[in-house]
Amino acid sequence: MIYTYTTQAGIRLAIGRIPRQSIDQFLADHPQPEPPTKTVMAWGDVEEHVPVWDDPEYRMEMQAYYLQIGREQFDLITPALTILPGREPDADLVEMQAAGIAGSSPADTLRYGVLVEDGDVTAVVAEVFYRSTVTQRGIDEAAAGYAATWMDKPVLASKLPELPAEYAQSYRDRVAARFCGYTWNGFCDLAGPEQSACVAFYLIEQRLGWLASKLK
Amino acid sequence: MGNYPTRAAGSGRLRDTQPEVADDMANTLTLQCGVTLHLQPVKRMVLQNILAEFGDVGALMNNPALLRHLTGGQQMKALAATEKLFTYCAGWGVANEPPADSDEELLGVLSGGSDGPHVRRANWIRYVLVSGQGEMGELIGAVMALSFQEETAVDEKEQRIRELEAQLDSMKNGAVADTAVSFNASQDMPE
């Protein structure tokens, strides 16, 4: 099924998918700046290092980071997008290309001529990601379809005990892939919603197992 | 920016004052040559894309003195991005039209074969009106301020940043806590 999106300027786009590995690589290549920390004394005279989110230098770094990633994400999503016949990018794009502001690459066509409103960029990027990798939207949709409840509440609404363990979401996805019987490459070949459904299944099973263990 | 030939319109007498921007954050800028430019907001996404071409913006914002220590390649990149920024702000962010008696041949040649009205306007401002790099910078600043401060623009920008933060926080290959809470955000955003 082809999904189409119409921009605020009336340009129609067909949205497909990109390899999940491209997204993983993109995110790995663009680590988010870390905030500075300050030491505070917590209860029991224990020293804690807490992040300073409003540090001016950090905020400037974050602005620059979003500026950079906002531009480079076009290179990532371009292979998934096709401009459909109908309304074309306007004359501004042609002039910007002539003036050297915009290049002639497909990514620059999107950057300067098609996705020039904030709302369009956000919507299209979200859709490409939804179709390509595990997303919260995909997990929510799959979980709603499974309709798994525990005491009349959705199983995923139940909290697991907070553990000191931390891991990347790609690790969680790999565990879910193995849990569902896929190789990693086989899992990545699935469309985004199927990957998300696999993860939702794994998360529900994980919680059901834990909830059932409490009954013993 | 390079040493462009500039000449003042009107009397040709340059004033020593800075360009005047009206107090109401406004949409006019009076140049030293006496011409008042009527400004209009441009597309923020395009501005942001051009700004990102400056390279390591974060480092430069934290320490502008780094500009003096850029390598040749970095300087060329910054120069090209500055050119684009001026052309966009002057061509698309100014409403004035070149006067009928402007040097059509000159503007045509300078437009590099482009007949587009925006590029012609940018060249008219660049080569005929502004009196130097300082004034070019003032014009860029005024158009950018207007574009980012129109009505709800700030809110929208912050919203955009929040959206990107949510997008990245949930997608990045960083660590996530092993709790159900981490997976229950009901936003329509990629993980």
CA-closest candidate to residue B53, choices A18, A7, A27, A102: A102
Please tell me the distance in Å from B17's CA to the nearest CA on chain A.
31
Residues of B in contact with A64 (CB under 8 A): 56-59, 61
Residue B81 has pLDDT above 50, yes or no: yes
The pair phi, psi for residue B41, each rounded to 5°, is -65, 150
Q: At what angle do helices A192-215 and A136-146 cross, to 10 degrees?
A: 60
Residue B64 has pLDDT above 70, yes or no: no
pLDDT band for B167, please (50, 70, 90 cuts).
low
Please tell me the distance in Å from B176's CA to the nearest CA on chain A.
6
As given in the structure block, the two tokens for residue B160 are 């955009």
pLDDT band for B128, please (50, 70, 90 cuts).
confident
Greatest mean pLDDT range, A57-61, B63-67, B99-103, B161-165: A57-61
Q: State the Cα–Cα distance between residues A205 and B86, nearest whole angstrom.
A: 57
Q: Give me the interface pTM, i.e. the ipTM.
A: 0.76
Is B158 within 8 Å of chain A by CB?
no
Contacts of B67 by beta carbon, 8 Å cutoff, 6+ apart: B60, B78
DSSP labels for chain B? --------STT-PPPSSPPEE-TTT-SEEE-TTSPEEEB----HHHHHHHHHTTS-HHHHHH-GGGGGG--HHHHHHHHHHHHHHHHHHHHHSB-PPPPTTS-HHHHHHHTTT---HHHHHHHHIIIII--SHHHHHHHHHHHHHHHHHSTTHHHHHHHHHHHHHHHHHHHSSSEEESSGGGG----SSB-
pLDDT band for B138, please (50, 70, 90 cuts).
very high
Spans in chain A with pLDDT lower than 50 = none
Residue B177 has pLDDT above 50, yes or no: no
As given in the structure block, the two tokens for residue B78 are 């910054």
pLDDT band for B110, please (50, 70, 90 cuts).
low
A30: number of Cβ within 10 Å: 16
Tens digits of per-residue pLDDT, B17-56?
455 555 455 689 999 999 999 999 999 889 988 988 876 6
A108: number of Cβ within 10 Å: 19
Asked if the Cβ–Cβ distance from B164 to A66 is below 8 Å, we say yes
Question: Residue A4: what pLDDT?
Answer: 94
Question: Residue A67: what pLDDT?
Answer: 82
CA-closest candidate to residue B143, choices B64, B14, B40: B40
Taking the mean position of all CA atoms in its chain, how far away is CA A20? 10
**Higher-pLDDT residue of B158, A184:** A184
Q: State the Cα–Cα distance between residues A40 and A38, nearest whole angstrom.
A: 6
Mean pLDDT of B89-109: 79
Domain residue ranges of chain A, discontinuous segments joined by +: 3-132, 136-213
From B119, which residue of chain A is nearest by alpha-carbon distance? A99
Question: Residue B87: what pLDDT?
Answer: 93
Residue B68 has pLDDT above 60, yes or no: yes
Asked if the Cβ–Cβ distance from B44 to A118 is below 8 Å, we say yes
Cβ-nearest to B62 among A28, A60, A158: A60
As given in the structure block, the two tokens for residue A82 are 């096709």
Residue B176 has pLDDT above 70, yes or no: no
Question: Residue B88: what pLDDT?
Answer: 95
pLDDT, averaged across chain B: 69
pLDDT band for B2, please (50, 70, 90 cuts).
very low
Q: State the Cα–Cα distance between residues B190 and B81, nearest whole angstrom.
A: 31
Cβ-nearest to B118 among A71, A95, A167: A95
Question: Residue A166: what pLDDT?
Answer: 82
Asked if the Cβ–Cβ distance from A64 to B57 is below 8 Å, we say yes
Per the CB < 8 A criterion, the answer to whether B114 and A98 are in contact is yes
The dihedral through the CA atoms of A165, A170, A171, A173 has a sign that is positive
Q: State the Cα–Cα distance between residues A110 and A121, nearest whole angstrom.
A: 9
DSSP labels for A76-109? HHGGGEEEPSSSPP-HHHHHHHHTTSS-SSHHHH
Instruction: Identify the DSSP state of A7.
Output: -
Of chain B, the end-to-end C-alpha distance in Å amounts to: 42
Please tell me the distance in Å from B16's CA to the nearest CA on chain A.
32
Q: C-alpha angle B146/B150/B151, rounded to 5°?
A: 165
Q: State the Cα–Cα distance between residues B160 and A128, nearest whole angstrom.
A: 18
| % of chain B at pLDDT higher than 90 | 23
